[in-house]
Amino acid sequence: MPSTSRTAFAAAVTTMLAMGIIYLWGLFAGPIEAELGVAGPTLSLVPSAALVCFTAGALIYDRLLRSLPLSAYVALAFALAGGGHLLFGLAPSFATLFIGYGMLFSVGAGLGYGLALALASRAPDSLRSILISLTVSAFALSGVILAGLLPMVFAGMRASASFAVIGAALLVVGGVVLALTANTPSFAAAGSPDRTTGRGPFLSPLFFKLALAFFVFNYAGLMMVAHAVKLLASTGAPAGLAAAAPMALNLSYVAGSLLGGRLAEATDARRILAAIHAICAAGLLALLTASGAGASLAGVAAIGLVFGSGASVLPVLVGRYWGPERISQVYGAMMFAYGLAGLLAPWVAAVLFEGSGSYTLALLSALAACAVGAAASLTITPVDTSRPVSRHVEAT
């Protein structure tokens, strides 16, 4: 691999490790609530806004990446991410938390996620799937590593002071990424809409089938992100075992993202998506029927595997059907499915739990989504390399 490709890959992984801090909100929620004297329901508006703004950043990153010099884009992403933390850290209030973390940082994190994926997608054909898998896995690996380190690093420190330190660190990391990408060419303008079909990829049946699969994987995964600990506790699991649910979810996410891209390259879309839907259904059924905490934890781990694999499988499939040069554009638009799942899954699970006293209905809703996604995925046609990419999109 050329040296410029190696440094671009290093920049991608570094960016993902930095932006993965978005998954660590739970570590700071309690201290922030105590420092600001804000009620829990009010404070919950912040991570909700963060999810929406992260999705917005992921939706617009391709257009910005192709409109700005690469150095300006990197500076913008890290300035938003670091500056958002610093805003709350230096002037702590609910308003600066909402604007700084809930909006500025989260848009920056979405832009950073897109940047990392775009850099990994530029790899040679023989390495693209594995580098995408490694890059995506770094996003969750960041949560695993930092979840163990940050409580020790920030012990005894006010939440706002912790945010100031994180903000400064993100700016430093941004400087590192700028140095790593100094010799990396900027991204060219996006291609024109499909000339054979007369439409862009976002109106094709294939796009919606892949987006539906992505929604299913994220719906199940984000439900576990929000409710896995409470779900295991509701089954009578010991507190220590229930608290292990996020670790099981994140480690399985890393494993899924590492394996998914390579498996997607080795088989066709129907087989890989059918397999992931089957694992998702198995995990949900384990949670629905488990008689012990161990089986429930295994169900959480299975869904973590699904959650992670979707993040690396979908970019590879997008590259297969639309070409590697359009991965950023098409997968970026597909992130709307992540945002929709993030808005619905935690809320639906909470409402159904409050109404019924158990997570049965919430898990059944995910299982129903899984069945619909699997049925749609089975109608996707394999790639025929004798025909142009546009014909695949039109025929699928």
The pLDDT assigned to 196 comes to 33
Residue (of 346, 333, 334) closest to 45 by Cα position:
346
Q: What is the average per-residue pLDDT within 146-170?
A: 87
Can you tell me the mean pLDDT for 24-38? 85
Residue 65 predicted with pLDDT over 80: yes
What is residue 201's predicted lDDT score, i.e. its pLDDT?
Answer: 65
What are the residues whose beta carbons fall under 8 Å from the beta carbon of 289, sequence distance 6 or more?
295
What is the residue-averaged pLDDT of the chain? 87
Angle between helices 269-289 and 293-322 in degrees, nearest 10: 160
Structure confidence at residue 381 as a pLDDT band (50, 70, 90): confident
Are 103 and 10 contacting, i.e. CB atoms less than 8 angstroms apart?
no
**Joined tokens for residue 365:** 């809703």
Which of helix, strand or coil describes residue 245?
A: helix
User: HSE of 179 in the Cβ direction (CA atoms, 13 Å)?
Assistant: 7
What integer pLDDT is reported at residue 391 of this predicted model? 43
Beta bridge partners of 194: 199
Other beta carbons within 10 angstroms of residue 146's beta carbon come to: 19
pLDDT of residue 387: 43
Between 4 and 373, where is the model more confident? 373
Question: Which stretch of 94-98, 225-229, 248-252, 341-345 has the lowest confidence by average pLDDT?
Answer: 225-229
This model's pTM is above 0.75 = yes
323: Cβ–Cβ under 8 A, 6 or more apart, which residues?
Answer: 389
Top-confidence residue, 203 or 272: 272
pLDDT in tens, 72-90: 999 999 999 999 999 999 9
Q: CA nearest 82: which of 175, 221, 189, 147?
A: 175
| 237 token code pair | 């699991």
More confident call, 23 vs 373: 373
pLDDT surpassing 70 at residue 197? no
CA dihedral of 352, 355, 356, 360, whole degrees rounded to 10: 0
What percentage of the chain exceeds 90 in pLDDT?
51
For 233-271, the pLDDT digits (tens) are 887 777 777 777 888 888 899 899 999 988 998 899 999
Give tens-digit pLDDT for 307-331: 999 999 999 999 889 888 888 889 8
pLDDT range class, residue 126, cuts 50, 70, 90:
confident
233 vs 189 pLDDT, higher one: 233
**Residue 396 in this model has a pLDDT that exceeds 70:** no
Q: Average pLDDT, stretch 102-110? A: 96
Tell me what percent of the residues of the chain surpass a pLDDT of 70: 91
Q: What is the pLDDT of residue 1?
A: 58
SS3 sequence of 185-234 = CCCCCCCCCECCCCECHHHCHHHHHHHHHHHHHHHHHHHHHHHHHHHHHH
**pLDDT on residue 2:** 60
Q: Which DSSP string do the residues of 107-161 spell out, in sequence order? A: HHHHHHHHHHHHHHHTS-HHHHHHHHHHHHHHHHHHHHHHHHHHHHHTTT--HHH
Average pLDDT over residues 60-72: 93
Q: What is the mean pLDDT of residues 170-179?
A: 97
Q: Pseudo-torsion of CA 135, 141, 142, 146, nearest 10°?
A: -170
Separation CA 393–CA 376 (nearest Å):
15
pLDDT of residue 6: 86
What mean pLDDT do residues 293-320 have? Answer: 92
Please identify which residue in the block is written with the tokens 């990829």: 201
Is 195's pLDDT higher than 70?
A: no
Residue with tokens 């909470």: 350
Number of Cα atoms under 13 Å in the Cβ half of residue 320: 25
**Minimum mean pLDDT range among 146-155, 197-206, 292-301, 330-339:** 197-206
Query: What letter would DSSP give residue 276?
Result: H
What SS3 state is found at 279? helix
Nearest 5°: phi and psi at 289? -115, -5
